[in-house]
Amino acid sequence: MAQKLNNKKIAILVTDGFEQVEFTQPKQAFEAEGAQTFVISPQSDRVQGWNHFDKADYFSVDIPLDEANVTDYDALLLPGGVANPDQLRTEAKAVQFVKSFFEAGKPVAAICHGPWTLIEADVVKSRKVTSWPSLKTDLSNAGAHWVDQAVVEDNGLVTSRNPDDIPAFNEKAIALFAK
């Protein structure tokens, strides 16, 4: 059986404080469908995940953000966790990296608090999105139409609310990334 993401290269933008399952489960699902995944970060060597409020595992960074080029990737994953997107949205290079995927018409998937970085990149206006509930006001103020659904796809952007939504998130992201 053919893998849906064969020969696709997926960038995963994270820094310390990402929700570990929102990184590991999509990464594994994408790889199971034949994709190559690349951990990209402002950190140069490793990043640390979190299990909600507790520190979790370390993961190697494949490409420092300073060396990453959007043209090398077919899609982007933005895991959540509170600290991760809050730090990324203050990094001009991270915000520009995210914005460049939209400018190039490449698909993006963001879960939980991940859409905070999308707000900073100014790419949610007029889009239907979902997220962790505490981002509803932020997303609405940025011009998005926020809904409380497990997964939403709108014009090349897939969003989800939380770890419970990961199966639906993965399925929708794989379908979008395969196009």
pLDDT in tens, 2-13: 799 999 999 999
Percentage of the chain exceeding pLDDT 70: 99
pLDDT for residue 154: 98
Q: Write the DSSP symbol of residue 42.
A: S
Percent residues over pLDDT 90 in the chain: 99
In the chain the domains, ranked by start, together with CATH numbers, are 9-178 (3.40.50.880)
Report the pLDDT averaged over residues 67-71. Answer: 98
Burial class (CB in 10 A: 0-12, 13-18, 19+), 18: buried
Residue 9 has a pLDDT of: 98
**Residue of 27, 89, 113, 161 marked catalytic:** 113
**Is 113 assigned a catalytic role?**
yes
Candidate list 108, 112, 123, 139, residue with the active-site label: 112
Instruction: Flag whether pLDDT at 1 surpasses 60.
Output: no
112 a catalytic residue:
yes
**Interval 113-138: pLDDT, tens:** 999 999 999 999 999 999 999 999 99
Beta bridge partners of 39: 12
Looking from the CA of 64 toward its CB, the CA atoms found within 13 Å total 5
pLDDT of res. 121: 98
> 126-179 pLDDT, tens per residue?
999 999 999 999 999 999 999 999 999 999 999 999 999 999 999 999 999 999
Q: What pLDDT is recorded for position 167? A: 98
Q: Where are the alpha helices (DSSP H) in the chain?
A: 20-32, 83-88, 92-103, 115-120, 136-141, 166-178
pLDDT digits (tens, 9 = 90+) for 19-53: 999 999 999 999 999 999 999 999 999 999 999 99
